[in-house]
Amino acid sequence: MSKPVILTGVRANNDIHIGNYFGAILPIVDMAKRRSADFDINLFIPDLHSFTTPIDHSKLYDSILNNARIYTAAGLPLDNPAIHLYRQSRVPAHSELAWILDCFTGFGEMSRMTQFKDKSDKLHGDQISVGLFNYPVLMAADILLYGATYVPVGDDQTQHLEFTRDIAERMNRKFGNLFVVPKPVAQQHQFFGNDQGLRIKDLMNPTKKMSKSNDSGKGIIFLGDEPQIAHKKIMSATTDSLGKVQYDRDNQPGIANLLEILTLVRQDAGRDVSLEQTISEYAGMERYGDFKRIVADEVAEFLANFQAHLAAVDEQAIESKLESSEHDMNLVANETLHRVQTAVGLRR
């Protein structure tokens, strides 16, 4: 790569929700546009990660392409040569490097991964796959193939990034200078700062982040929801018995969540408004139903506008971007893989 590399991506889900959009996708697009002058931005679609847990495989291919469409609708500039948009599975070096790294990774290391424990607790028997168990090794391959220095990660992924650093340093000690070691977690957070978005909470259980796996969908607003359905979900959101709008994450998590959502949709609409200004505007309001209706109306408007942008994306431009990026990424990844293959004795 001609410049230092930032690598990031969002798993291709069947249903991307506003938590994904405001917490990851929009910050990624904004970061890519601002930092592409100084960095190569590797924005990959981690489709091989998509079935570490059970999914509907008949919908996967469309979900992968929809991931690219959503980035584009969110404003990703497809004509920027420093931004690379590619599918993980179209660069076979990801899979081969993961296997090589597997063979230098301890069973105990993977057993200590909290994400594996959390996700496997929700599954049964053979649903708990080897792929879920060694997911962090594939993530390490995703990063190390391109010499990525910076990788924006949430709190649930910091352990995986630490493992990536560990396996890179282990391989470097054993075989020489094979990999660029990404920056430690503290430096990652310092570098990205506000590039990482707010974590929207579940409408039904506002103490937990909005997540597809948490409930039946009543507390989640999907980007594909009809605006009137989203309106109803907001009107049914859990609040409290205090009867006063104020920002108190501990005692009024539902109201705090709605204040954050309202701020985010207003910012997305181009309004120059901060969370503090939204809090001040509605502080002390006593009729929760009236406040919810304000939030519901603006969320419905956001969805209608976003869905119009999504319907208008240039499919051919997306296909062209994917193909050109995948060609370039194969060249970079294969060079790294060949260096590793030589080091472990597979090549000369």
Identify the bridge partners of residue 45 per DSSP, sorted by sequence position: 87
| Active-site entry in 119, 201, 233, 292 | 119
Q: Is 59 a catalytic residue?
A: no
Neighbouring CB atoms inside 10 A of 8's CB total 23
Q: Where are the beta strands (DSSP E) in the chain?
A: 5-8, 40-45, 83-87, 148-150
183 assigned to active site: no
Residue 42, token pair as written in the block: 């590797």
> 3, 208, 209, 232: which one is catalytic?
209
| 3-state SS class at 5 | strand
Tell me 200's DSSP state. Answer: P
Sheet holding 83-87, edge to edge: 83-87, 40-45, 5-8, 148-150
Eight-class DSSP state of 279: H
Catalytic residue among 33, 183, 208, 212: 212
| Residue type for position 136 | P
209 is catalytic: yes
Under 8 Å CB-to-CB from 157, ≥6 apart: which residues? 115, 139
Active site residues per annotation: 119, 209, 212
